[in-house]
Amino acid sequence: MFRLLGKTHPGAVREQNEDAFYRNDSTGLAAVVDGMGGYAAGEVASAIIVKSLGELNPASGGLVAALMECHTRILQHSKAHPESKGMGAAVVVAKLEPKQLSVCWAGDSRAYLFNRETGLRQVSRDHSYVHWLFSQGKITEDEARNHPKRNLVTQCLGLSAPQPELTTVAWKRGDSLLLCSDGLTDELDDRAIENTLNEALSADDFSAVAVDELIAAALAAGGKDNITVLIAENRHVADDMLDKPKIETPAATQRHSLVPILLGAGAAVLVLTIGLLWHFSG
């Protein structure tokens, strides 16, 4: 029904990778996590979120509560381990269903919906200072991409009091969901991402090629941050597209078996009738 594939890369500059991702094809749950807080601490926050999502396995209506539980667990770990105090993580998580998907996020990790005909569309909206400036009309889109404070998030798990945002969108067979950390979107704009996805459509394994090519493109553009990409493909076949098997009852089967006999008998009667008419008319 769904095909999920993800990869994470430390990037071309940083030695450690504080990103992580989670995927479960059978439950349709997927997430990308961008840890923050310095060496080890960011990795720990990401690991806590990934482990917690696997344990909680939230339904679409429970995504916000699940992220808040992840937030609580990060705070509890920080309290028990003072060396990791101040760690946090941006996260975007999706619950996939055949005809719709629910996306929940806190921070600037993103979710996009992609289709061959309609192209690329961002589903989430960044919880960041720069996005707020852009939404207020104070800066342009180009200025937002190059703003010196573009990595300043206004909320994340583990710090302050996050308010995860939730949205539900329709999707169908042939659609793909892209989840990614800002290590991808800081290097590639939406047009570059869409072009890369379109080029990958000609490959035998779209997801594998698209994930690899997006990471490679981000590295070629500088790769200044950790890069994580996850793609989910909707391969659901609608009920009305299925060829339902024709089930015959014994009575129906018996009726079908009598058809040749009845046809033969009818033909014999017709021949006999014609012969009698010919005989008496003579």
pLDDT greater than 60 at residue 246: no
46-90 pLDDT per residue, tens: 999 999 999 999 999 999 999 999 999 999 999 999 989 899 999
What is the pLDDT at residue 278?
Answer: 47
- Rounded distance between C-alpha atoms, residue 5 and residue 159, angstroms: 29
7-16 pLDDT per residue, tens: 999 999 999 9
Confidence of residue 249 (pLDDT cuts 50, 70, 90): very low
Mean pLDDT check: name the lowest of 48-57, 131-140, 246-255.
246-255
Q: Token pair of 51, please?
A: 């482990």
DSSP lists the bridge partners of residue 106 as: 91
E strands, 40-148, are 88-96, 100-106, 110-115, 119-122
156-206 pLDDT per residue, tens: 999 889 999 999 999 999 999 999 999 999 999 999 999 999 999 999 999
Question: Residues 99, 1: contact at Cβ < 8 Å?
Answer: no
Question: Residues 40, 17: contact at Cβ < 8 Å?
Answer: no
- Rounded distance between C-alpha atoms, residue 112 and residue 159, angstroms: 25
DSSP lists the bridge partners of residue 29 as: 24, 95
138-147 pLDDT per residue, tens: 888 788 877 8
Residue range 233-260: mean pLDDT, rounded: 55
The residue among 181 and 271 whose pLDDT is bigger is 181
Question: Residues 19, 228: contact at Cβ < 8 Å?
Answer: yes
Mean pLDDT check: name the lowest of 12-16, 226-230, 234-238, 251-255.
251-255
Alpha-carbon separation of residue 131 from 136, 145, 160 (angstroms): 8, 10, 19
| pTM (2 d.p.) | 0.83
- Rounded distance between C-alpha atoms, residue 87 and residue 245, angstroms: 56
Exposure of 106 by Cβ count < 10 A (0-12 exposed, 13-18 middle, 19+ buried)? buried
Confidence of residue 238 (pLDDT cuts 50, 70, 90): low
Helix (H, G, I), strand (E, B) or coil at 4: strand
Query: How crowded is the C-beta side of 199, counted as CA atoms within 13 Å?
Result: 13
Question: Residues 37, 87: contact at Cβ < 8 Å?
Answer: yes
What is the pLDDT at residue 241?
Answer: 46
What is the pLDDT at residue 42?
Answer: 94
- Rounded distance between C-alpha atoms, residue 121 and residue 203, angstroms: 22
Question: Residues 227, 11: contact at Cβ < 8 Å?
Answer: yes
Helix axes 190-200, 206-220, angle to 10 degrees: 140
> Tokens 């979710």 label which residue?
111
Amino acid at 187: E
The total of other beta-carbon atoms located within 10 Å of residue 146's CB is 9
pLDDT greater than 90 at residue 270: no
Q: Token pair of 163, please?
A: 């308010």
Confidence of residue 260 (pLDDT cuts 50, 70, 90): low
What is the pLDDT at residue 72?
Answer: 97
pLDDT greater than 70 at residue 257: no
Confidence of residue 263 (pLDDT cuts 50, 70, 90): low
